[in-house]
Structure 1
């Protein structure tokens, strides 16, 4: 049965269903129970763990404000049989526990020849738009995508957030689960039952014939708005949501570009060594003969996220920039 849920509530429901299904699933981080002194009534900074303490008192824990300690503890717990979901809160805080992620979680299974696994989920909120400043607004999923041994998930809808979280918890490898703050209160149809969405399987949000738009996270919504605007001008755009950037469903992207002959990649992260530059490069290498115009990237500038509301509003990519990028690649088209 499908209901309307928020992105945040969809994540909370996935956590509850998996904790009920498997007692080895444990949740910990800052204020998961205490909720800034409200005795579980708030359930973390945004409320996804609200009520879980009453249902699963032995499976949810508060951690001190030391990311290095509780992320390290999560790696150890995962290696010894539990399935921890550790809440990093802002992904920006990964700077103080990066060794635990880069050198321990990501490499343990490889270094012991598959004799151990690290079934860890690291929840991390990200993105600009909430006036949180340069140290609380970054789009750092390209950094984690670069690291072999990690899986990186960037859901754009409540339904995907629930299904991908379920898959992440059941996965035997470490998963970094990116949740855009600006999507937390977006709403959509979410099935009530538990379900999985496979990693590495992109979603075709909208079919089209003139240009492929690959958009990540919150940018999927901006791409949909742009596609609607372009349709009024007679341009048909296909919108692809990768859902996961490691693994990346390259075949769905290639197949779309082969049909449309053009590509625009929309990525909120900074442009250098970004997921946008990676996808653009892969498409240029593998579908060059199908391209009828130059690949375009729409990204944030190569600068820290500003705190000024006016500057922050201009910082992240928007539908207008996507429209312009599509128009550029169409105008520059070569004969088919």
Structure 2
């Protein structure tokens, strides 16, 4: 085991994948010489050369469109979009080309493409550097969407995504890049400052896509979360002193429905926490699934805690985030329901 931050775990996953398979290439804005805005690709160009890790023009449309062509012709591109907020010019390529290629070609072609994007707030980046757009990808048939909450999962999920024959969106919470994070961290991420955060196996391994993890077992209620909100949920549970079961979804699509259903049927209560905007957020789909599959086991209404239904704030960023106080209030509401 090695002690790594999420950034270091992602670097390591790239290295192992590129060593094992010469078809794996890394491309994006500043990912080569500079090593990426958050240094997730640092050292790759020096080690593997400019034909395996290279910089792209400032054109997300061009980056993703080119990567789709590379994937169709046998390569396994892993591209970085500097911030999830920047992916909108490429959204048509992601939805209309990458996601549909297997189906529109009747299986003749596949698109083994990984698109990595830093997501969420925490750097005082305001509206154009802090969005959480996961619901835009989970809505699209043909895409897989993953969000790690710790370095070990980041490495395993990225290696699984690179090996997958279909397009995978990997959203990486910026607040977890450098750690440690106890659910109360209220300072911006400092990309160049590294802290040890988690134990990560040295060898190559995968975290299966579509498999959630139970971070804390309990019987009083079930909390569904992913990414940064896993840590917020755990902090709130500790503060409230309740016997809650906290499930880290890890993969939003495909979703581990059996783990969710088994937990809620056991506890009879469900709280959903995510950083993205409440309305039409991924939590709405989770609530619909729980309502359908666990209706006769529920002892209280399903609760959701999420970001505000407003444009992303700047000065009020830390109030926008669901924190242990807001999650704690929701826990009390569910238990009293």
Structure 1-normalised TM-score?
A: 0.94
Deviation at 1:205, TM superposition (A): 0.1
Provide, for residues 138-187 of structure 1, a one-character-per-residue CA deviation record: whole Å limited to 9, x for no partner. 00001100000000000000000000000000000000000011111021
Distance 2:296 2:272 in 1: 18
Of the candidates 255, 258, 267, which is equivalent to residue 251 of structure 1? 258
Q: Secondary structure of the residue that 1:31 maps to in structure 2?
A: coil
Q: Which residue of 2 aligns with 1:20?
A: 19
In structure 2, distance between residues paired with 1:202 and 1:128: 23
Matching residue of 2:103: 110
**Structure 1: which 4+ aligned runs deviate by more than 4 Å?**
none
Q: How many residues align?
A: 319
Contact 1:128/1:305 (8 A) holds in 2: no
Q: Which residue of 1 aligns with 2:329?
A: 324
Displacement after TM superposition at 1:299 (Å): 0.3
Does 1:45 find its partner at 2:55? no
- Give 1:200 shift: 0.7
CA deviation string 1:124-149 (max 9, x = no partner): 01101211011111000011000000
Corresponding residue for residue 40 of structure 1: none
Q: Gapped runs of 5+ residues in structure 1?
A: 36-42
Report deviation, 1:230. 2.0
**C-alpha separation in 1, matches of 2:39 and 2:136:** 27
SS in 1 for 2:131: coil
Q: TM-score, normalised by structure 2?
A: 0.93
For residues 1-336 of structure 1, the aligned pairs below 5 Å read 2-35=1-34, 43-57=35-49, 58-186=51-179, 187-231=197-241, 235-308=242-315, 311-332=316-337
Provide the secondary structure at the position in 2 that maps to 1:200.
coil
State the SS of the aligned residue for 1:294: coil
Cα drift, residue 79 of structure 1: 0.8
Q: Secondary structure at the match of 2:218?
A: coil
CA distance in 1: counterparts of 2:291 and 2:25, whole angstroms: 43
Q: What are the ranges of 5 or more consecutive residues in structure 2 without an aligned counterpart?
A: 180-196
What is the Cα deviation at residue 34 of structure 1?
2.6
Structure 1 Cα separation of the partners of residues 258 and 310 of structure 2? 32
CA distance in 2, matches of 1:296, 1:184: 28
Which is worse superposed, 24-33 or 53-62? 53-62
Cα deviations by residue, 1:48-77 (Å, 9 ceiling, x for unpaired): 111111211131111011111111000110
| CA RMSD, 1 decimal | 0.8
